[in-house]
Chain A
Amino acid sequence: MSTSLSRRAFLHSAAAAVTAPWVRTSPWSGRRLAANERIGIGVIGVGDLGGGGHHLGRLLRLPEVEVVAVCDVDAQRVQAAVDKCEGRASGHKEYRELLDRKDVDAVVIVTPDHWHALQAIDACAAGKDVYCEKPLTLTVAEGRAITAAAQRFGRVFQTGTQQRSDQRFRWACELVRNGRIGRVQTVTAVLGSAPFSAPEPDAEVPPHLDWDLWLGPAPRVPYNPRRCHYQFRWFYDYSGGKLTDWGAHHIDIVQWGLGAELSGPLSVHGTGTWPADNFFETATEFDVHYEYPGGVRVHVTSRGENGVTFRGSEGEVFVSRGAIRANPKEILDTRSGTMPVKLPVSTDHHADWLRCIRTRAQPICHAEIGHRSATACHLGNIALLLGRKLYWDAQRERFQGDPDADRLLTKPMRAPWSL
């Protein structure tokens, strides 16, 4: 072998080489992880969910990761999370500070929905892989921006719809996709009703909370404890109520079962109930009707047993957390993984993401899937607000012939925030 090839000669030969096809097209702008190296994690939002057992508690128990930074606009929560990490993680109020850290390889975003898009896009641009809680977005436009960022920056992106990593849901969807219930005719997704709250007066902002930063891109309003931690999901400026809170889970399963996870419905209409003395804004009860390709009618409702029921010409299957039933029962004789159409397998949503961070594969609920699931939820809320039937063009991501409805696919952001 020649050892005397000069750098200049090498470059010359390389430049003269035939067109070099590139195996990967995803950029490697983030820190390279050695096979044995722990993944440095930053958790953005360490409230009940982010700082609790589902995220921080679990991440701290995984030997292959190191939680190196936590972030929240509530200083009390930051301190609690730092304590939980036994001082190994640095605490931040500003998520952009956390993204600037070189030891953060990936972030888990567990903030209110109105922050997801900005934080996820900034994280992608900073070369971090992302696990973002559901619902992925506040608007359809935000979802498209997130998918573009994940693709552009070659990031491994997991949406926190962990039912995809629950074998019962995968099993149910495989049964449907393999025709075990015949031709699918209707699907019912029961999400449960949304809560009600008596009025609560506005209050002084607690000294440990940066309320302006909590609001971020949302309109400025006085502080009210009932708008803030956890309860934000019942206000349209920050979330979409039960329809996005649980719809992100169950509508995701509906679309998985129908094979519509990368497209969406054809039309949507519905009715909702807004009790007059409810301090919360979102509909407490609702019935939203979608039509999917193939004439499948999907009813998303607040009433009934929580779960998803697929009904076909030859039977039905019901699935929820902890339960799967079928009629006739023999449908369940076919186990998951034994049918011709096999869906991707994940038995642990975090582990699936971490594995993909090393392999650079697509996680089970990547950004496009999360965006499409959230989109179906948003369409439901837009239909409830407008009170009319809307026709959806899933490819263009626009309504058909309804520019006023189109304007609700985005939401202005309070400066300096913008997509």
Chain B
Amino acid sequence: MRLLLLMAWVTMRLVAQQPAVDDLRSTDPAVRRALLGRAHELGEAALPGLAEALHAADPAEARAALRALERLAARATAPAAPEGARDRVAEALARLVSDTGLARPVRQSLLQAYGLVNRREEGVQLLVAALDDRDLAEGALFALQRSGVAKAEVVLLERLTQPGPVLRAADFAAALGGRGSRAAVAGLAAVASGDDALAQAARAALAASGDPRAGTALLEAVRLQRAGAAAAYARWLESHGGDAEAQRAGYRRLLASAGSPARLAALEGLARLQDQELVAVCVDLLADPQPAVRAAARGRLIAAADQGLTRRLHALHPDLSPQARAELLRILAARGDCDAAALLQLVHAGLTDGAPSLRGAACEVLGASADADAGRLQPLLGDADRGVRDSAAAALVQVARRQLARGRGAEGLAGLREVVRAAPDPRVQAQAVALLGQARDAGALALLAPLAEGRDLREPVAAARVEIARGLVAREPERARAVLREAFLQARERGTRQAAAKELEQLGVAPADLARESGYLVAWHVLGPVPDPRAETLGRAPFATDAVDTGKPVRIGAKDLEWRSVMASGAEGVVDLRAAMAQDQVSAFAVTTFEWSGGEAVLEVGSDDGCAVWLNGTRVQDKWAFRGLSSGEDQIAVTPTAGRNVLVLHVHQGGGGFEFCVRLRKAAPAGEPARGR
């Protein structure tokens, strides 16, 4: 008996969970809506109800019906679907597509659903007619492209030359490319040599085709220097060009063609095939008028593992133009198997050559050489050519790096300081700064100080300061603390800040104290989680944001939520909301107060995810974003009231981390750069 009762109960439950077709026509909108999300489970029985719902006055209901019809159509393609069901669904969709009482986007969507489910040749006629209907043409083309019916392709081919009043021939070419049959290729090949949009679309489509006619058509387009033709032909060769010898022949044809795209594509192809004449081809191309071609050839010559090549290249050096000699110098150095004395001779001559390109290349090569003499490079820091100065500075950094590694610290540091002072390029300066940091050169601190505010060097200087401070910890702890505090305030990179904070902690500065000293707001009250499945409550506070009473609960929906006191953790004053509210699609409020002496300020806010901010009841930030925490990402200029201020945050949680941090600092006076982050 118990078993029977149990079975009856289970059956009732199952029946209760099954959607019922009649509910689609219920007069109660709630009942209809409850079913619409699952109506596809009912199969074709739901079609009449869904068709009616498409005309519902409520746009949400009509949209839900459309989505249900799309899912229903997809499921009708199941091999196990009842006999004839698929065709009946297609017929029903066809009727709806023809219903001009429905909005254009609705009919477009229905057309695509129809294209997916229709499997009858005569059913394609509906799509053909729609191609000439301005409201439906795009949807019809999509449907034809994806249709499994052979006639769809016939239609696309016909339209390639007779596109009709709405769509262009190029639209049909692109659609045919997605199908890739022999007939499609023949049609595309016939139009591929032109220079109009149709021809371009045809070439792009042909590149993916395995048909030999595609290759022939593309080569003709290369000969005519049509846009994209060389790349398309190379793609075709690689995928469908036959054996290696046949492909080689194809690439040689490309090499002999006009236009740099053809030569680049040929070079790539011959290299892929490890062609034995590639070296000769590359040397020829070192003199190519196009920089991209020269660069490609240079790269190949550097990478070539041919034992005798370096010697032959070296011998070729005097015969070439300065530009080519510069290229060759780099190649010889990069290959690494050149006779060192002979190379050095070329390099030293290059340093005083009249051509800047050769002087620059000589600097580059010398910088990489273990035998480099910094004294030869330093005069070039004052070269008339900016590029040469950059190259010399970069080379000096490399030399100094090696000197430091070999225990010639004084020479190395002197060289680096010279680069920091004189290098024109902040990128090179940054490298010198990093090396000074690694060497823990306390003598460089004064040199670094004026560089700390610039955008280019702020981060390298902060990181160098941390390193230098590490060297000072044992003998000058007070100075180390001061340097580390500067670095902490200066750095934007989280790793650098954390490194500074860690060192400071070991010097007795607690992270919480550091956070407070640095202006982070650390004492908060938080409220939540506030359900926000619609992701649309951000920036709307259900309480007055200018005078929050954290002793009183806040009514949200049917619940009274209590404020909870939390303290931020770590040196960056991060409040972790996830620990208390581990849910997605929610939000939380946070409130704190602070005293202000007057004047303008900047609120530096980081939050995961987006947040809204109110200061004394005025919303100063409303940032919808899905992002990770980055301290100080939002810089909000504000004017706090002299005395007590109320700051409220509303942080959204879309998934993953759920946290925030806020730092308050005085705004920099006009004309003075902002300090810290």
Contact check, B75 vs A386: say whether CB atoms are below 8 A apart.
yes
Inter-chain CA distance A284–B38, complex, in Å, is: 13
Kindly state the separation between the CA atoms of A153 and B269 in the bound complex, as whole angstroms.
10
Q: Give the residues in chain B near A276, CB-CB below 8 Å.
A: 32-37, 60-61, 64, 68
Which of the candidate stretches A57-65, A90-98, A167-175 sits at the interface with the other chain? A57-65
- State which of A7, A153, A278, A403 has its C-beta within 8 Å of the C-beta of B319: A7
Least CB distance from B102 to A in Å reads 14
Q: Within the assembled complex, what's the spacing in Å between the Cα atoms of A53 and B63?
A: 37
B271 adjacent to A32 (CB under 8 Å): no
A280 to chain B, nearest CB (A): 9
Q: Does B314 contact A (CB under 8 A)?
A: yes
Inter-chain contacts of A284 with B (CB < 8 A):
533
A17 contacts B315, C-beta separation under 8 Å: no
Q: Contacts A32-B298, A416-B170 given; indicate if A6 touches B280 (C-beta within 8 A).
A: no
A27 near B630 (CB under 8 angstroms)?
no
A17/B633 contact (C-beta < 8 A), A195-B534, A275-B37, A277-B60 known: no
User: Is A222 among interface residues, defined by CB-CB distance under 8 A?
Assistant: yes
- Give the shortest distance, in Å, between A16 (CB) and chain B (any CB): 9
Query: What per-residue 1/0 map shows which CB atoms of A257-297 lie under 8 Å from chain B?
Result: 00000000000000001111111010010000000000000
Tell me the bound Cα distance from A191 to B584 in angstroms.
Answer: 10
B residues in contact with A31, CB < 8 Å: 292, 295
- Rounded to whole Å, the gap between the CB of A399 and the closest CB of chain B is 11
Segment at the A interface, from B136-144, B242-250, B440-448: B136-144
- B253 at interface, CB cutoff 8 A: no
Q: Give A299 to B342 CA distance when docked, in angstroms.
A: 65
Count chain A residues whose beta carbon lies closer than 8 angstroms to a beta carbon of B.
100
Please state if B626 and A22 are interface contacts (CB–CB under 8 Å).
no
Proximity string of chain B (303-318) to chain A, C-beta cutoff 8 Å, 1 when within and 0 when not: 1111011011011101
- Return the chain A residue nearest B395 by Cβ: A36
Question: Mind listing 30 A-B residue pairs with CB under 8 Å?
Answer: A1-B311, A5-B312, A6-B319, A18-B276, A22-B303, A32-B298, A34-B394, A48-B627, A53-B630, A53-B633, A54-B630, A63-B456, A64-B427, A152-B235, A153-B268, A191-B655, A192-B584, A192-B585, A276-B61, A277-B64, A278-B37, A284-B533, A322-B657, A385-B71, A385-B74, A388-B75, A412-B146, A412-B178, A416-B197, A417-B174
Q: Which A residues fall within an 8 A CB radius of B?
A: 1-7, 10-11, 13-15, 17-25, 27-32, 34-38, 48-49, 52-54, 57-58, 60-64, 66, 86, 125, 127, 152-154, 191-193, 195-199, 201, 219-222, 230, 246, 273-279, 281, 284, 305-306, 320-322, 385-388, 401-405, 407-408, 410-418
Task: Known pairs A246-B655, A412-B175; list 18 more (Cβ under 8 Å).
Answer: A2-B315, A14-B312, A17-B306, A18-B276, A22-B305, A29-B292, A36-B428, A37-B427, A53-B628, A57-B633, A197-B536, A199-B63, A220-B138, A276-B64, A284-B533, A305-B582, A404-B148, A414-B138
Partner-A contacts on B (CB < 8 A): 32-38, 40-41, 59-61, 63-64, 67-68, 71, 74-75, 77-80, 105, 108, 116, 138-139, 141-142, 145-146, 148, 167-168, 170-171, 174-175, 177-178, 197, 201, 204-205, 231, 234-235, 238, 264, 267-268, 271-272, 274, 276-280, 283-284, 292, 295-296, 298-300, 303-306, 308-309, 311-312, 314-316, 318-319, 339, 342, 364, 368, 390-391, 394, 397-398, 426-428, 430-431, 455-457, 459-460, 492-493, 533-536, 578, 582, 584-585, 606, 610, 623-628, 630, 633, 654-657
